[in-house]
Amino acid sequence: MGLAIGLELYGKKHFVPEKPRFDSPNSLDRYMRDKLWAGLNKQDGARTWSDRLIYGFSMSSLLWGPMLAEDKELALLINARVFAANSIMTSLVKIGAARERPYHYFGTRSSEGSKDFTSFFSGHSSVAFSQAVANSMILSRSYPQYESAIWSGLLGVAGLTAYLRVAGDMHYFTDILAGAITGSLIAWTVTRSELKRFGVDDNQNSITLQSRGNGSNFVISLKIPLG
């Protein structure tokens, strides 16, 4: 988590080059920008709402996700590790790619310093989808009867957040697409790994009980099939 915060607060400001490594958008990004950009009069509103969603919903899910889960401590651990892993990956790629943002390339907004060259990939999208996938996996185990609603709701908010980044001229379509895929894969991998490591069985039709010996690594596991 410390590395993630350090890269976010320090790395981007000091390691992003003064000139972009990638500037001219490809044909797909030009086409999608024409379709999704909100325009000069509405782009600031779209950007504001994307920030409200990422901080008010996705980032806050680091707290409310575990609070709603049955195993709150495990859910908190998973959320923290997913967030840290995704943040580190996102920052490293942003620094390495140094892609020029659309608002800077097309001149629709004033320069914001080093932020101008951190377009690829979208951090809002990667965070939104990583937290959505992680909490969907966790909360679906706690409330299996609402699994479809949980996945639809959380991924829906993540998708809206990503769309608003293009509407606000902060990112290209390939930026949000790469962010969404990367965040989802990281969340899926980390969450599955942590559930397995702590003996939480993936099969909903069974219960796994574990007993650990004091002062040793000896583990006894008992799996009870339910059907």
Domain range annotation of the chain:
2-225
CB 170 within 8 A of CB 123: no
Q: % helix / strand / coil in the chain, to the nearest 5?
A: 70, 5, 25
Cα–Cα distance, 149 to 145 (Å, whole number): 9
Instruction: Note the pLDDT of residue 214.
Output: 55
Task: Give 197 or 210, the one with higher predicted confidence.
Answer: 197
Interval 148-160 mean pLDDT: 98
**Confidence tier at 86 by pLDDT (50, 70, 90):** very high
Taking the alpha carbons at both ends of the chain, their separation in whole angstroms is 41
- Whether the pLDDT of residue 50 is over 50: the answer is yes
pLDDT at 9: 66
Examine the pLDDT at 226 and tell me if it is beyond 50.
no
Averaged pLDDT of the chain: 89
The burial class, CB within 10 Å (0-12 / 13-18 / 19+), for 23 is middle
CATH classification (class only), 2-225: mainly alpha
pTM: 0.86
pLDDT tens digits, residue range 111-151?
Answer: 999 899 999 999 999 999 999 999 999 999 999 999 999 99
Segments in 42-146 forming alpha helices (H): 43-53, 61-68, 72-97, 102-106, 123-142
